[in-house]
Amino acid sequence: LYVVDLTVSDSVMPKITATLDGPNGLGIQECAQVTRRLNRGLEEAYGEEAAYSLEVTSPGADQPLTDPRQYQRHIGRSLLLKLADGTEKTGPLTAVTPEGIELEEVIKVKSKKTTLPAAFFPFGDIKEATVVISFNRNIDRPTMMSILDDVFRTMIRKKFEDDSNFDVIVNPDNGDLEIWRNREIVDDDSEDIWDLDKIPLAEAQKIEPDFEIGESVAEPIKIEDFGRRAVLLARQTLIQRVKDMERDNLYQKYK
């Protein structure tokens, strides 16, 4: 892992935001582990009474690539480059070197798309680079992400009654889905152990032996844990929602 950005807000209770990335991205479990280590390090340095908030996160799929190390895992994907000379280039990323990247620019010639031979762009000439994310069926990214989130949260509520302590992460780069259940660690004898967002200390320490009361546990939930019927229903719901959106888009276009 490496640090992409680190900010500290200027306020009575400073907010420390650490944005991390890695060769394979950054998952919630890794975020939780780094958060715990940083919290313990800050407590050792400034004492347990230090007032601050800490957030460890990863760059969003639509955030610019700011570190040369981020480019490698996006080879083969389409990038939008904003160059220092004011021009923009869009096309597949084909190679990454210590000095820059190679990109096959896609241009339109007489309303037809043409791909040019790969050209080299030094990192120093790149003002901003973002991964171009698109979905088929003419549905924009925010709408599709909202549909996916809603479908999976409905599935979570049917199994766990409440979805407020769950994170649903859909990676638009590769189609991966992650569902994480977040629970606060409480004493084994606490009356709260039956709450949906709580987990007894003994159970938490089976996951990681050094967990302590008051910390949060993020557990991955596998899609197969919901059962075949629930997964099939979610699939049918998703297909229908997409079809409905297509019809709405078509109507708006030709009405």
The neighbouring-strand residues paired with 89 are 81
Let me know whether 146 and 125 are in one domain.
no
- In the chain, the amino acid numbered 35 is T
- Note whether residue 96 is domain-resident: yes
Give residue 200's domain range: 141-245
Residue 137, pLDDT above cutoff 60: no
Let me know whether 165 and 220 are in one domain.
yes
The CATH number of the domain holding residue 72 is 2.30.30.100
pLDDT, the chain, mean = 83
H or E element at residue 225: none
- Note whether residue 253 is domain-resident: no
**Of 99, 131, 163, which residue constitutes the final position of a domain?**
131
- In the chain, the amino acid numbered 67 is D
Q: pLDDT band for position 173 (50/70/90)?
A: low
Residue 119, pLDDT above cutoff 80: yes
* Token output for 176: 């991966």
DSSP 32: H
Looking at residue 97, its pLDDT comes to: 94
Let me know whether 119 and 205 are in one domain.
no
- Note whether residue 239 is domain-resident: yes
Instruction: Measure the CA–CA gap between 135 and 53, rounded to whole angstroms.
Output: 36
Residue 147 in contact with residue 177, Cβ under 8 Å? no
Cα angle for residues 196, 202, 206 (degrees, 5° grid): 95
pLDDT tens digit sequence for 194-236: 888 899 999 988 888 888 888 888 888 888 888 888 888 888 8
Q: What is the CA radius of gyration of the chain?
A: 22
Could you tell me how far CA 79 lies from the centroid of its own chain?
Answer: 18
Let me know whether 116 and 183 are in one domain.
no
- Note whether residue 181 is domain-resident: yes
Residue 35, pLDDT above cutoff 90: no
Residue 151 in contact with residue 239, Cβ under 8 Å? no
Supply the pTM of this predicted model. Answer: 0.55
Q: pLDDT band for position 129 (50/70/90)?
A: very high
Burial of 167 (0-12, 13-18, 19+ CB in 10 A): middle
- Note whether residue 254 is domain-resident: no
Looking at residue 98, its pLDDT comes to: 93
**Of 13, 29, 57, which residue constitutes the final position of a domain?**
57
Residue 106 in contact with residue 113, Cβ under 8 Å? yes
Across the range 36-45, mean pLDDT stands at: 85
Cα angle for residues 91, 92, 95 (degrees, 5° grid): 130
Lowest mean pLDDT among 91-95, 131-135, 155-159: 131-135
Looking at residue 85, its pLDDT comes to: 92
* DSSP states along 92-141: EEEEE-SSEEEE--EEEETTEEEEPPPEEEEGGGEEEEEE----STT--H
- Note whether residue 103 is domain-resident: yes
* Token output for 157: 């509520």
- Note whether residue 252 is domain-resident: no
Instruction: Measure the CA–CA gap between 42 and 28, rounded to whole angstroms.
Output: 21
Q: What percent of the chain has pLDDT over 90?
A: 17
- In the chain, the amino acid numbered 203 is E
Number of domains in the chain: 3
The CATH number of the domain holding residue 214 is 3.30.1480.10
